[in-house]
């Protein structure tokens, strides 16, 4: 959507996400370290992680554990995403990264259009 502000004829369906980010960087030309530069980097980092999150399912292996007290429980033994072992902290970090990128995109939209979406 940011690309359509200076050029309403842009067909977003024909532009890959990475190319969109590159075009927005060229359009805005943010100085290194500026808030726009930081926001664009956050969005690009989330793009890279999103590809992994979407295409590598999370599988958790549980073990049935009886206790001496007579109770029992299913205990998580291993969680993998694709070929990598992950823990809950990594999954939460991935979620936070996606949420941060969404906030960055809203800030960029507000900067370019002068209005909140």
| Amino acid 21: pLDDT | 78
Model pTM score? 0.63
Q: Rounded CA gap, 25 and 34, in Å?
A: 12
pLDDT of residue 11: 60
Q: What pLDDT was estimated at residue 100?
A: 92
For residue range 16-41, list pLDDT tens digits in order.
677 777 777 887 788 899 988 899 88
Please identify every stretch of the chain with a pLDDT value under 50, giving residue numbers as ranges: none
Burial 18-56 (b: 16+ CB within 10 A, else e): eebbebbeeebebeeeeebeebbbbbbebeebeeebeee
């Amino acid at each position: 959507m940011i690309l359509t502000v200076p050029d309403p004829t842009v067909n977003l369906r024909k532009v890959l996400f990475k190319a969109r980010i590159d075009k927005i960087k060229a359009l805005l030309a943010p100085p290194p370290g500026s808030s726009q530069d930081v926001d664009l980097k956050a969005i690009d980092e989330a793009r890279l992680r999103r590809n992994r999150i979407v295409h590598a399912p999370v599988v958790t292996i549980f073990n049935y554990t009886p206790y001496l007290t007579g109770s029992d429980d299913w205990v998580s033994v291993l969680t993998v995403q694709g070929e990598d072992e992950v823990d809950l902290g990594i999954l939460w970090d991935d979620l936070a990264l996606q949420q941060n990128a969404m906030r960055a995109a809203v800030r960029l939209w507000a900067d370019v259009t002068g209005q909140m979406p």
